[in-house]
Structure 1
């Protein structure tokens, strides 16, 4: 049985930044907000990938229009093309997630 996933909010990140650096609440909030806005701007508006060293890469991908079947009605429907954001973790991040796992390198 899967456990309920916990989410960390931006206000929790602000609190952690404030506690670890001694910054004021206002400055910590500005830093977190600006960082999120800059990442979003790079991906959404400039269509650039964002590499976060030691963590992973956020990338904009384009999904083509495709046909799919409605599971309820069995009707074939057209799913329109869309943009999505993908995340690919760095190898170091994967190792931290799964410390005992064996890496597959071909």
Structure 2
């Protein structure tokens, strides 16, 4: 099991990802999982306050390169603070999170972090 911990401001206070496979020493192809955790933001990018009541959810985006958004998971629950991606094959992934509000506006993507599933 490999554990990562990153500071991803302004959208995240902290995020952690864990890559692990099914038993036997290494992740099986297409059988690894990554759990991403975060804390909802309390300020907007411009520094003004953001209440939890204004947050409508999160978009978790990931891909095989730093610039790609090949996959996106829409998390329509402002109280949720983690999500587990499953069925991932071996490889390198770049993951970021974006917050969206009840007015249909999205913040920018957080800083991407890299994980490697062996």
Compute the TM-score of the two structures, normalised by the length of structure 2: 0.23
Higher helix content, 1 or 2: 1
Q: Which structure has more strand as a fraction of its residues?
A: 2
Q: Which has the higher contact order (CA 8 A, sep 6+)?
A: 2
With normalisation by structure 1, the TM-score equals: 0.24
State which structure, 1 or 2, has the greater radius of gyration over its C-alpha atoms.
1
